Structure 1
Amino acid sequence: MTNMSIELDAVSKSFGAVEAIRNVSLNIGQGEMFGLIGHNGAGKSTLFKLMLGLLPASAGAVRVGGVATSSAQFRQVRRRIGYLPESFVSYDNLSGLEVLHLFADLKQVARAECGRVLRRVGLADAATRRLHTYSKGMRQRLGFAQVLLGDPTLIFLDEPTNGLDPEGIAAFYGILREAQGRGATIVITSHILAEIQDRVDRLVMLDAGKVAALGTLAELRSRQVLPSHIEVLMRPGCGAGVEAALAHLPGLTLKLDGDQAGIACAAAQKAPVLAALATMLVDVTIREPSLEDLFLGYGGHHASAD
């Protein structure tokens, strides 16, 4: 498959006196599922539009598949891109199939493909229904269907699971994994951080238009000194011995409630903590810092990353 990596080299974008993107450099590799998060006003939408070639950079260069988005040649690259905006809007008086026919014509894709794509997103039975009868989740799936037309090699998704139920979300990511398996590069933004944290290969956190953090979830955890949380249930009567058993381990935070204990510790201390309590344990739950924890630790101003 043709390489569809994305390169941003010292990219900035200003709107008058407002600098929305500030000296951003990053590379998104061919076949990656890449996450983009940040609080309101962090520059996510602007960065999306720069990578799509919908906005020109004020400084720096954006290249997709080795082609500058500012060049005339980018028109050919754009034909291999699928894009779902945060709010998918179409004509309410058209059926789902007619909407896809419209997009197929725009993308120069055979209309015969539309039925297959509708089946793939679970809308085959609603193909001939008018959009005004569609629920929010059905509209979102129709928007995803138009993304899939032509088997794009680069997919941009802005808050793609709005309105989807848990089953729909699972199916959505299953389809994305299939596209990734064929070599598609996927860039996704979501305000539901728990949803994407175990699904993206790498991610970038934007803060005030700048890169606050970039890497895999494991890499971000290693750079942020955030505690692991261990919840333990002891054998009856053993709760009183927990504090003494852990006395040789410095820097722990311990909360006791009868035979249950909550322990916050450095990642390197998890094994020593469990070894010290081994003879008392009935059950253990370990929670590592979530993407939301990391987002807040890196300076995110809201618990969501909308």
Structure 2
Amino acid sequence: MIEISGVSRRYGEVHAVSGVDLRVHAGEVFGLIGHNGAGKSTLFKMMLGLVAASTGEIRIAGESVTGKRFREVRRGIGYLPENVVFHDNLTGLETLAFFARLKGVPRTQCAPLLERVGLAEAGGRRVRGYSKGMRQRLGFAQALLGEPRLLFLDEPTTGLDPEGIREFYEILRALRAGGTTIVLTSHILSEIQERVGRLAIMKSGRVQACGTVQALREAAHLPLRFELELAEGDEHCVQGALHGLGLPALRRQGGTVSVDCPRASKMAVLRALSALGSQVSDLRVREPSLEDIFLGYAS
């Protein structure tokens, strides 16, 4: 669906995006993460054809974003920017009707979309009275006009409460099931960890890594963490069981003993700990979180 080849964007001496190569497959949910200023929003704007690349090429659905036919392709794209701005004097329904007219979409889509994003009862109210979360929902409804086959969502859950975030991702699941390709950014890494198929980590305008969360875990060589609840004895029994495996020092917090280990040592550690038998009442193995992975690549 998206092919990015050697793309860069300069603003004078500033390299906002530098030599990016990416492929996003049709029907996948793809995450783009990075610090503020990493180049995510600039890359979004280039994929939308709003900002021209200084070098390289971007193709959407086989068409170059600088080509004559891209205007037609863009009709099948939805975009939710990071900062949503609407006319305060219009109602929610009037706002959506305004965008429907710009997109050449039947106005009959507006009311059902407001209901879909949870704004059915607020459709007749002026936007000036909307909360941040309600504005975000309205922006999402705008992005869904015309049943786009490709969605760009820049920090889409900003201002949403936990229920709103859950409802948002339920809609994304339904869209993906229908074949929609979704590219999103988020600073809430725990939120997207289990909700994207693949993701790219950007730093200083470059892609540092790309793949599934599990593939990035393994490539970053981050340690696993074993957490044990002891039924009998103390951490000395754990130290004895793990002696000779070359692991770092144990940590104890309350009744929990934890130790980090390289992924390659996982089974050896499990075998050693199983010998403790009833001395261990519970055992948890913690994989590195997406935040751990991000910090490992972005530091």
Q: How does 1:1-306 map to 2 (within 5 A)?
A: 5-256=1-252, 259-278=255-274, 279=277, 280-300=279-299
Q: Aligned with 1:298: secondary structure?
A: helix
Task: Output the CA distance in 1 between the equivalents of 2:156 and 2:39.
Answer: 18
C-alpha spacing 1:242/1:21, structure 2 compared with 1 (3 Å): same
The one-letter amino acid paired with 1:281 is V
How far residue 197 of structure 1 moved from its aligned partner, in angstroms, is 1.3
**Number of aligned residue pairs:** 296
TM-score, normalised with respect to structure 2: 0.95
Q: Which moved more, 1:128-137 or 1:152-161?
A: 128-137
C-alpha spacing 1:20/1:14, structure 2 compared with 1 (3 Å): same
The two structures, once aligned, show a CA RMSD in angstroms of 1.3
Contact 2:3 2:58 in 1 (8 A): yes
How far residue 299 of structure 1 moved from its aligned partner, in angstroms, is 2.5
Q: Aligned with 1:289: secondary structure?
A: coil
Contact 1:232 1:284 in 2 (8 A): yes
How far residue 211 of structure 1 moved from its aligned partner, in angstroms, is 1.2
TM-score, normalised with respect to structure 1: 0.93
Task: Output the CA distance in 2 between the equivalents of 1:194 and 1:86.
Answer: 19
Contact 2:232 2:280 in 1 (8 A): no
Contact 1:194 1:292 in 2 (8 A): yes
Kindly indicate which of the two structures has a greater share of residues assigned to helix.
Answer: 2
How far residue 258 of structure 1 moved from its aligned partner, in angstroms, is 6.9
C-alpha spacing 1:277/1:171, structure 2 compared with 1 (3 Å): same
How far residue 259 of structure 1 moved from its aligned partner, in angstroms, is 4.8
Task: Output the CA distance in 1 between the equivalents of 2:255 and 2:161.
Answer: 38
Contact 2:34 2:298 in 1 (8 A): no
Q: Aligned with 1:10: secondary structure?
A: strand
Gaps of 5+ in 1: 301-306
The one-letter amino acid paired with 2:219 is R
Gaps of 5+ in 2: none
C-alpha spacing 1:100/1:259, structure 2 compared with 1 (3 Å): closer
Contact 1:137 1:163 in 2 (8 A): yes
Consecutive aligned runs of 4 or more in structure 1 exceeding 3 Å deviation: 256-259
